[in-house]
Amino acid sequence: MKIIGTGMNYPSHNKEMQHSVAPSEPVLFMKPDTALLKNGKHFFMPAFAGEIHYEAEIVVRIDRLGRHIEERFARRYYNEVTLGIDFTARDIQKRLRAEGHPWEISKAFDNSAAVGHFFSLDDLGREADELHFRLLLNGQEVQSASTSEMIFSVERIISYASSFFTFRTGDLIYTGTPAGVGPVKPGDHLEGYIEDWKALDLYIR
């Protein structure tokens, strides 16, 4: 399976990151399957980075093979979502970006893609583009947003991404993070909710 990340998809996050130009197409990147961190396992701080940031995101699970998917048919390709953390080595990302290099390693390292419990949209009674979600860091709310704020909808991301990459069952799409990202340190506790459903619970070690 593969993991597709979406960058700069919330105006509030782009503002806090001081990105002055809004993207005209979805900004995509990939994480390998070795990035996946699931079942509430601890996230261990990697030795290489000075600053690891949490980014809470709604994650969509693809459940059909597909390529060149039209936006109007994209809804047929997923039915489960969770809250995930797109862990980012921010210091490395900033340095590579300033140097004009790809910032892959700051996003795709081992265990950088945490996922919580998946819920079907039927159970949530909502569509992926109308989900409120929030992240608590040590019991304090640090991120809170609705997927309705996304610049590019889930359908648009699927359609765009599938013009480059074939989707297979089990592939995951991280749909971008809103404002409120910040650093983690050993001992921190992250809890994520979709609406009032607890989806994610993990500790930083």
Q: Site residues (CB under 5 A) for Mg ion?
A: 55, 86, 177
Nearer to Mg ion, 66 or 86 (CB): 86
Nearer to Mg ion, 55 or 191 (CB): 55
DSSP state of 44: P
Asked if 30 and 7 count as a contact pair (C-beta separation under 8 A), the reply is: no
Nearer to Mg ion, 159 or 177 (CB): 177
Nearer to Mg ion, 86 or 171 (CB): 86
- In the complex, the smallest distance separating the C-beta of residue 83 from Mg ion, rounded to whole angstroms, is 12
- In the complex, the smallest distance separating the C-beta of residue 177 from Mg ion, rounded to whole angstroms, is 4
- In the complex, the smallest distance separating the C-beta of residue 53 from Mg ion, rounded to whole angstroms, is 9
CB atoms within 10 A of CB 102: 10
- In the complex, the smallest distance separating the C-beta of residue 50 from Mg ion, rounded to whole angstroms, is 19
**CA–CA separation, 160 vs 180, rounded Å?**
27
Q: Which helix (H) or strand (E) is 158 found in, with range?
A: helix 154-161
Asked if 69 and 165 count as a contact pair (C-beta separation under 8 A), the reply is: no
CA distances from 138 to 133, 186, 204 (A): 17, 12, 11
Nearer to Mg ion, 62 or 66 (CB): 62
Asked if 60 and 194 count as a contact pair (C-beta separation under 8 A), the reply is: no
Evaluate the CA torsion angle 9, 128, 112, 203 in order and state its sign. positive
- In the complex, the smallest distance separating the C-beta of residue 70 from Mg ion, rounded to whole angstroms, is 26
Tokens of 188: 């921190």
